[in-house]
Amino acid sequence: MSKQQNENLEKAFAGVADNYRGQDVDLNAIYREMRKNSPIIAEDFMSQQGVPNIAGLDANRLTFTLFKHKDVMAVLRDAKNFTSGFIAEGLGAFFDGLILTGMDGEEHKKARALLQPVFMPDVVNTWRDTKMDPIVRNEFLIPLQKEGKADLMDFALYFPIRLIYSLIGFPEDDHDKVKQVAAWSLAILAGPQVTPEKAAEARKAAMEAAKCLYDAVKEAVVEARKNGAKGGDLISRLIRAEYEGRQLDDHEITTFVRSLLPAAGETTTRTFGSLMTLLLERPALLERVRADRSLVGKAIDEAVRLEPVATFKVRQAAQDLEIRGMQIPKGAMVQCIVASANRDEEVFEDSEEYIIERKVKPSFGFGFGPHMCIGQFIAKTEMVVALNAILDLFPNIRLDPDMPKPKIEGAQLRGPHEVHVVWDQH
């Protein structure tokens, strides 16, 4: 990869991080207080934190914010009364075609039924051994071993996009294309912005990136169909997928696959960064996980609970409704603060602690209900592979004492910006 491409990728990532940082306040202290005294407010909490409205909505639309586990669960599971179609108004401007996250009702249900089998563990596990594990080890971590130190975010920024690129079925030998695809994906996420000047500029870049990505994916779809779509890659599987006699056309596959790139990249990057931070801050726990790899999956689930990367989810009231005695008029927005619900002391004992062997209960880091993350097995498997490989290849990995400690921060798209580590060399 060229230096220029590297810089582009890092710039794109910094743009996204800037965009969603919000103010530097102790949000967890605020959430604690809200859960106790104001579990629902008739205000747009995230806008007050300086987080741009990803749905591109007019900022004055009536918004309610929820902080409790029970209420967040009730809203996310009830897609009939709390709809997602409005998301297409904002993100939809960058896309057309098959975008699950902004679909509702029967249309969403049928699309999920068609797509879901491609994302189930039986398929994902075939990718783990043939693609994920070899790529993570051979392309990233083995070449790094001799360095003895690294900022793990350099790895975390790149490996999820590299893996999804490979699963999609893009040509494996074109390394420049991998970088280019990653930079385009991040440019799309930097689309919605707070200030009008930034918004115009970022929007233009996002539209261009979306167009370039479309062309790149379409080419791969056409090629796969021409060759009979027999492969085990995502595109070939989507070409073969069928539900109630319906199959997807090239445009639908292209727009869906394109939507996966931003959905799969940054989310996994930040989640992995938070996971590593939580473990490295607890060397004894990290050692336990190294010795007993059955704990790897638990460490990931608990990181997703305690530090969900997508800190809130918004829905729209489909009719007049009531939550905790407050009237929610039809059309109002309901902002569910996942980062607060996941730490609700009424549901989780020692809710603000990182306890990997806690009793499993639903939390919302991958969403909940009909829109729950379709890529969660991919994301989790990628992180299982990456953490195992790090534990195998970097003996005695620990935080670099000469560098700043990692800090998990941000009001939305939360995670650390740097995770500096050192390890022993043979």
231 phi/psi in degrees, rounded to 5: -70, 170
Measured from the CB atom, the residue of 14 and 113 that comes closer to ligand HEM is 113
From 19, 49, 101, 342, residue interacting with ligand HEM (rule: CB under 6 A): 101
Shortest distance, position 161 Cβ to ligand HEM, whole Å: 10
Q: Does 412 bind ligand HEM (CB under 6 A)?
A: no
Give 139: exposed, middle or buried? Use CB within 10 Å, 0-12, 13-18, 19+.
middle
From 22, 56, 365, 410, residue interacting with ligand HEM (rule: CB under 6 A): 365
Q: Is 229 in contact with 239 (CB distance < 8 Å)?
A: yes
What whole-number distance in Å separates Cα of residue 43 and Cα of residue 48? Answer: 9
What whole-number distance in Å separates Cα of residue 365 and Cα of residue 340? Answer: 11
From 100, 118, 153, 306, residue interacting with ligand HEM (rule: CB under 6 A): 100
Select from 61-69, 220-228, 281-289, 309-317 the region that touches ligand HEM (CB under 6 A): 309-317
Cα dihedral 396→397→402→408 (10° resolution): -140
Measured from the CB atom, the residue of 180 and 274 that comes closer to ligand HEM is 274
Q: How far is CA 200 from CA 30, 48, 194, 203, 218, in A?
A: 32, 22, 10, 5, 27
Measured from the CB atom, the residue of 220 and 422 that comes closer to ligand HEM is 220
What whole-number distance in Å separates Cα of residue 131 and Cα of residue 128? Answer: 6
**Other beta carbons within 10 Å of 151:** 17
Q: Is 64 in contact with 41 (CB distance < 8 Å)?
A: yes
Select from 39-47, 63-71, 194-202, 366-374 the region that touches ligand HEM (CB under 6 A): 366-374
Shortest distance, position 145 Cβ to ligand HEM, whole Å: 25
Residue 21, classed as helix, strand or coil, is coil
Q: Does 363 bind ligand HEM (CB under 6 A)?
A: no
Residue whose C-alpha is closest to residue 365's, from 300, 284, 419: 300
Residue 246, classed as helix, strand or coil, is strand
Show the binding pattern over residues 5-34: x = contacts ligand HEM (CB under 6 A), - = does not.
------------------------------
What whole-number distance in Å separates Cα of residue 308 and Cα of residue 157? Answer: 17
Measured from the CB atom, the residue of 233 and 400 that comes closer to ligand HEM is 233
Query: Site size for ligand HEM, by CB under 6 A?
Result: 23
Measured from the CB atom, the residue of 373 and 385 that comes closer to ligand HEM is 373
From 309, 328, 384, 389, residue interacting with ligand HEM (rule: CB under 6 A): 309
Structure tokens at 409: 């921060």
Residue 83 belongs to what H/E stretch? strand 82-83
Name the residue type at position 338: V
Select from 192-200, 225-233, 284-292, 364-372 the region that touches ligand HEM (CB under 6 A): 364-372
Q: Which residue is nearest to ligand HEM (CB)?
A: 375
**Which residues between 157 and 186 bind ligand HEM (CB under 6 A)?**
164
Select from 43-51, 289-297, 318-326, 359-367 the region that touches ligand HEM (CB under 6 A): 359-367
Dihedral sign from CA coordinates of 146, 387, 307, 396:
negative
Q: Which residues contact 90 (CB under 8 A, 6 or more apart)?
A: 53, 54, 55, 56, 57, 192
Shortest distance, position 100 Cβ to ligand HEM, whole Å: 4
Q: Does 56 bind ligand HEM (CB under 6 A)?
A: no
Measured from the CB atom, the residue of 166 and 193 that comes closer to ligand HEM is 166
From 371, 414, 417, 420, residue interacting with ligand HEM (rule: CB under 6 A): 371
From 333, 339, 356, 379, residue interacting with ligand HEM (rule: CB under 6 A): 379
Instruction: Using the structure block, give the residue that is written with the tokens 């539209």.
Output: 207
Q: Is 149 in contact with 400 (CB distance < 8 Å)?
A: yes
**Which residues between 107 and 136 bind ligand HEM (CB under 6 A)?**
112
The residue ranges that bind ligand HEM (CB under 6 A) are 84, 100-101, 112, 164, 260, 263-264, 267-268, 271, 309-310, 313, 365-367, 371, 373-375, 378-379
